[in-house]
Copies of this chain bind each other. A is one copy, B any other.
Amino acid sequence: MALIVHKYGGSSVGTVERIKNVARRVAYHYKQGNQIVVVVSAMQGETNRLLGLAHELSKTPDPRELDVIAATGEQVTIGLLSIALQEMGLQSKSYTGGQVRVLTDSAFTKARILSIDRDNIINDLNSGKIVVVAGFQGNDKDGNITTLGRGGSDTSAVALAAALRADECQIYTDVDGVYTTDPRIVPEARRLDTITFEEMLEMASLGSKVLQIRSVEFAGKYKVKLRVLSSLDDPESSAPGTLITFEEKNNVEQEIISGIAFSRDEAKISIMGVEDRPGIAYAILVAVAEANIDVDMIVQNISESGHTDFSFTVGNAEYEKTLKVLNEQHDSRKFIAREIKGDKSICKVSVVGIGMRTHAGVAAKMFRALAEEGINIQVISTSEIKISVIIEEKYLELAVRVLHKAFDLEQAPVL
């Protein structure tokens, strides 16, 4: 008997009919002899409707109250799915995040999970119940309702799987796995049977959008077997999806690059002519971090006559806020710069692959492919298993296509 955590997003539970479909899939896996915990999101459109009401009342609604409002979306779904399972003759019980209890910090609207109590759920599973848990939410130590931010239901599912020592955490989505890149841009894109945790981390953070990055981090940290599958297939005949593994592949020779990731949700911030002294990066970024703005790429150029240029990227939604924070820091002389400027019409494109570690020449191949199409590279950033470039947003599709082709990703690797 295996303990499996399922996770279904907003579109999978968007209507009563779809909730019935989820119930049928869960019932199928339960009847195969598994213990099942189901993590669900709010019905599609519901979170936006609820936050829309709040934003009608205030341009900057209190984050604590936003979480009180938003958390109701998942709470409705758990009750409905539980009823749908009971209607099929199964025993089922719903849990809000607070009831589990999923303990988080108090960073409302973007809280982080600190711990999860497992005893009640284990007791329910052992008595034959299917347990339905509200994703995306928890309680802080004072009992305030918190939410994990958009996409947080994936994180809830993985964290629950870790806490319950589940055999597998299955994320059901509207795609049947992780592809070498977005098939809407490159029709030849290919589904990967497996992808390493590190590659997935880069793919997710770089915009593949199949899984939320924090869920992959969690999975890696707690060695949760994570699988991405389609919620559209028949339960009986569904494809195996893509399994995220924690071992390096053996065939690094063949498969240097796993995929091409990209993100449109990027804005570039540049601080030009800043004094080059120890602590200057901290002076610039501390206020950004304190405003809870997530910074992605950070690049500092070589110093010239005691001054340097410092760039980083943030999500588009935090672009204005970031500029405001930086200008305040600058006005109060926390750092001195010639100019603070930004650009929202950029995107990020990355090649990702665990095999890159042992192979030179990936960067050269990438830059040549882009240069041949006349695409100018604004910023370059590399890690052990990925190379990312910032380019003009209008070149995104072209860049992804030429890179997919340059690295022969349409071909399945010869094992």
Query: Smallest Cβ distance from A47 to chain B, in angstroms?
Result: 12
Q: A58 contacts the other chain (Cβ, under 8 Å)? A: yes
Return the chain B residue nearest A72 by Cβ.
B72
Most buried by B among A20, A65, A87: A65
Q: A166 contacts the other chain (Cβ, under 8 Å)? A: no
Mark the stretch among A78-86, A171-179, A362-370, A386-394 that contacts chain B. A78-86
Query: Which residues of A in the span 168-199 have a Cβ within 8 Å of any Cβ on B?
Result: none
Q: Are A71 and B82 in contact (CB under 8 A)?
A: no
Contacts of A64 on B, CB cut-off 8 Å? 93-94
In the bound complex, what is the Cα–Cα distance between A96 and B145 (angstroms)?
9
Evaluate whether A50 and B76 lie within 8 angstroms (CB atoms) in the complex, with A56-B16, A57-B87, A84-B57 already known: yes
Query: Smallest Cβ distance from A56 to chain B, in angstroms?
Result: 5
Q: A99 contacts the other chain (Cβ, under 8 Å)? A: yes
Q: A54 contacts the other chain (Cβ, under 8 Å)? A: yes
Q: A19 contacts the other chain (Cβ, under 8 Å)? A: yes
Most buried by B among A68, A80, A144: A68
The interface bits of chain A over 42-83 (1 if a CB of B lies within 8 angstroms of the residue's CB, else 0) are: 000000001001101110011011101101100110111011
Q: Are A76 and B84 in contact (CB under 8 A)?
A: no
Q: A143 contacts the other chain (Cβ, under 8 Å)? A: yes
Q: Are A53 and B76 in contact (CB under 8 A)?
A: yes
Q: Are B80 and A53 in contact (CB under 8 A)?
A: yes
Q: Are A76 and B69 in contact (CB under 8 A)?
A: yes
Q: Are A61 and B83 in contact (CB under 8 A)?
A: yes
Q: Are B58 and A86 in contact (CB under 8 A)?
A: yes
In the bound complex, what is the Cα–Cα distance between A93 and B142 (angstroms)?
13
In the bound complex, what is the Cα–Cα distance between A56 and B23 (angstroms)?
14
Query: Smallest Cβ distance from A324 to chain B, in angstroms?
Result: 21
In the bound complex, what is the Cα–Cα distance between A249 and B86 (angstroms)?
55
The interface bits of chain A over 306-344 (1 if a CB of B lies within 8 angstroms of the residue's CB, else 0) are: 000000000000000000000000000000000000000
Q: Are B87 and A20 in contact (CB under 8 A)?
A: no
Query: Smallest Cβ distance from A59 to chain B, in angstroms?
Result: 9
Known: A16-B57, A65-B78, A68-B78. 4 other contacts (CB 8 A): A53-B80, A57-B80, A58-B83, A99-B143
Q: What would be 20 A-B contacts, judged by CB atoms less than 8 Å apart?
A: A16-B53, A50-B76, A54-B79, A54-B83, A57-B83, A58-B87, A61-B86, A62-B82, A65-B78, A65-B80, A65-B82, A65-B83, A66-B79, A68-B75, A68-B96, A69-B75, A69-B80, A72-B76, A96-B145, A98-B98
A interface list, Cβ under 8 A from B: 16, 19-20, 50, 53-54, 56-58, 61-62, 64-66, 68-69, 71-72, 75-76, 78-80, 82-84, 86-87, 93-94, 96, 98-99, 143-145
